[in-house]
Amino acid sequence: MLSGRRLYSVASRFVTATKPTDGLVGAIGNTPLIRIGSLSKETGCEILGKAEFMNPGGSVKDRAALFVVEDAERKGLIKPGGTVVEGTAGNTGIGLAHVCRAKGYKCVIYMPNTQSQEKIDLLKMLGADVRPVPAVAFENPDNYNHQAKRFAESIDNAVWTNQFDNTANRQAHIETTGPEIWAQTGGKIDGFTCATGTAGTFAGVTRYLKEMSDGRVKSFAADPPGSVIYGYIKSGGKEMIRGGSSITEGIGQGRITANLQPDIHLVDDALKIEDADTIAMLYRLLDEEGIYLGASSALNVVAAYQMAKILGPGKTIVTMLCDGAYRYQSRLFSRKWLESKDLIGAIPKHLEKYIVLA
Ligand SMILES: Cc1ncc(COP(=O)(O)O)c(C=O)c1O
């Protein structure tokens, strides 16, 4: 029997009143901004990570997925019951698969056959028609993006959402991610950094923060080995050096996409982050903060840490925590895989206990 005595306080610190969302798509965005205590203490800066892994599809790409589909609807490119086709390394596909089920569309995903099995399985479980194709350069007509475009053109009531060059992707971050970061920091933000895949996130957030701060907020592009963005920015747009590779998935780029082009002049600097630093940060954040991140997010946090050192104490730096490690755990926590990438040595001895898979 309930005694009638209150077992709870009237204003619980765990409760903030948010209204019910309009379906799954209404639950995209409005993610928490997490203060990373250990790194903030070490640098004397506030280092904040936008917890995009808390989106319903588990990544930052839910935002772009919703915006490109709604853009196609607005332009009359897709009618009820139609098919959404995309070339994606995984997370955009997962976001699109969720959005397509929620809106009653079919979803066809072309991807390079180098992607993790966890991502492929999840896409299939979400009802998508997954088509892994050989990983060839963008210039090759059989690149997964070109195959996606051709397929969409070959059937009725279908749209190729074209995440790389469809600026509705960047618009998602101008209209949602940027304003959220500005509101969550009360405008007290000095620097923003993250890596680029399509560059929708980096360009959209940079554009918004630059406009709101009259150019005061600094923006640094973070880049993995093998990507051209770092060299392009460092050389003032003169160099596009290819070559090299990285363990990160979803980031790294061989060209300047239409999502990045309009805003590249706003970028203040670039940071190249080595895989050894990324993997060490991934394990450190798990151990010290309890945050379980994918490699692109760990790379972003290394970039935020380096940016804090460059800008100096007292500054507030924001980066993106794009997705969790769940989709990559068979690699990131496998001794064999880490050895194959020559990364075992990058993980400090006291963190080796997290390498739980053979
Ligand atoms: C894990 C992960 N991180 C980062 C990104 C990059 O985001 P954007 O395409 O907005 O540059 C992606 C894109 O697919 C991703 O999957």
Q: pLDDT in tens for each of the 358 residues of the chain? A: 555 566 666 666 677 778 999 999 999 999 999 999 999 999 999 999 999 999 999 999 999 999 999 999 999 999 999 999 999 878 999 999 999 999 999 999 999 888 778 778 889 999 999 999 999 988 899 999 999 999 999 999 999 999 999 999 999 999 999 999 999 999 999 999 999 999 999 999 999 999 999 999 999 999 999 999 999 999 999 999 888 899 998 899 999 999 999 999 999 999 999 999 999 999 999 999 999 999 999 999 999 999 999 999 999 999 999 999 998 899 999 999 999 999 999 999 999 999 999 9
- Is the minimum distance from the CB of 29 to ligand 1 under 6 angstroms? no
Residue nearest atom 7 in ligand 1 by C-alpha distance: 197
Give me 341's structure tokens.
């990438």
Give me 326's structure tokens.
């769940």
Q: Other C-beta atoms within 10 Å of 302: how many?
A: 25
Provide CB contacts within 8 A for 248, sequence distance 6+: 195, 224, 275, 278, 295, 296, 299
User: From the CA of 101, how far away is ligand 1's center (Å)?
Assistant: 22
- What pLDDT is recorded for position 118? 75
Contact 218, 191 (CB under 8 A): yes
Q: Is 75 a catalytic residue?
A: no
Atom of ligand 1 nearest to the CA of 169: 10
- What pLDDT is recorded for position 137? 86
- Is the minimum distance from the CB of 227 to ligand 1 under 6 angstroms? no
Residue nearest atom 2 in ligand 1 by C-alpha distance: 250
- Is the minimum distance from the CB of 199 to ligand 1 under 6 angstroms? yes
- Is the minimum distance from the CB of 87 to ligand 1 under 6 angstroms? no
- What pLDDT is recorded for position 5? 66
Q: What is the pTM of this model?
A: 0.95
Nearest to 163 by CA among 227, 101, 230, 91: 91
